[in-house]
Amino acid sequence: MALQPVQASAPGSLMLMGEHAVLRGQPALVCAISRRIKVRLNPLADKTIRLHSALGEFETTLDELAPNESFRFVRAAIRHRREKLEQGFEMEIRSDMSHQMGLGSSAAVVVATLAALDAACGGKLVREDLLADGVQITRRVQGGVGSGADVAGSTYGGCLRYFGSSREVVKLSTMPELTVLYSGSKMPTPDVIAFVEEKRKQNTELYDELDALIGKTVRQAFEAAANGDWEWLGALMNVNQGLMDALGVNNGDLSSLVYDLRKDPRVFGSKISGSGLGDCVVALGKAMRSEWGVPSLEVRVEPEGVQIQELPS
């Protein structure tokens, strides 16, 4: 079947609670955010593949799918759908997010690319399959690590409770207000995970107990969010921050931002968002201050996940 021109978009995401423990069977809370990655696909007559984005330009073929560091997630998604493809295409990738920040941009581009390829081949959007494939791809590119929570956020949208082991997704009907600050630096997630795993080897029993406590706070937080009890949810975020500190993924810059946010009368709680040792801090509530000495990201929870639009031939 000849490819059809399509456009797909997927939101970025941020972790609200449950980092690290989600890798060991505990639940996490993840929120899709109102910044998207858009992928526009136009078929070509031959087997050429041309990719365009702010990161650069890249050309290869369906038969070769040559390596390229800047497009490694997109290329991995194309390779995953290779058997369905009989002709090449041009793909334009546009992002509302900086690749230097977390915000689930890698997961979002994988989800948007898979959705565009499926739609171009005449397939229907099946979110469960998209989640399963997206998790497999991101883990493969990241050396086998990752919970898939960011893939779930990009696929389903909204604020979700997510189990990495079963890929179970439960979507909240309520949408919290958030304030997000970028610390100014980011350590790659696989490196932070490796760092925590080395510390875990020194005291496995203690770290297992920390995981269980994180899971318990997430379960209570999900109930609080479902009831719109933002004060209790904020208090649980503060508890989760203390547990992340115990895991060893906090630092002075992150801690300063966390406590500065808690001084704001409109903030219910705050913590690291993501694996830690850099990247973002998230607060529950819209802070009054606008100047923090670091970038403040204007985001809201995005209720819609991946979306597909057919284009004129």
Dihedral sign of CA atoms 52, 296, 275, 252 in order:
positive
Asked whether the predicted pLDDT for residue 5 surpasses 90, the reply is yes
Architecture of domain 178-297: 2-Layer Sandwich (3.30)
Average pLDDT rounded to a whole number, residues 32-55: 96
Burial class (CB in 10 A: 0-12, 13-18, 19+), 51: buried
Residue pLDDT, tens place only, 267-286: 999 999 999 999 999 999 99
Distance of CA 154 to the CA centre of its chain: 7
Burial annotation 150-188 (CB, 10 A radius, 16+ → b, else e):
bbbbbbbbbbbbbbbeebebeebeebbebbbbbbeebbe
Where along the chain do its domains lie?
6-173+302-310, 178-297
Q: What is the DSSP letter of 18?
A: -
The model's pTM is 0.95
Residues 6+ apart with CB under 8 A from 115: 8, 10, 39, 125, 130, 306, 308
Asked whether the predicted pLDDT for residue 137 surpasses 90, the reply is yes
First CA to last CA distance, the chain: 14
- The answer regarding whether domain 6-173+302-310 maps to CATH 3.30.230.10 reads yes
Give the pLDDT confidence score for residue 260 in this predicted structure.
Answer: 96
* Higher pLDDT pick, 238 / 293: 238
Average pLDDT rounded to a whole number, residues 218-234: 97
Asked whether the predicted pLDDT for residue 301 surpasses 80, the reply is yes
Looking only at the bridges linking them, the beta strands covering 269-273 and 48-53 are unpaired
Distance of CA 174 to the CA centre of its chain: 19
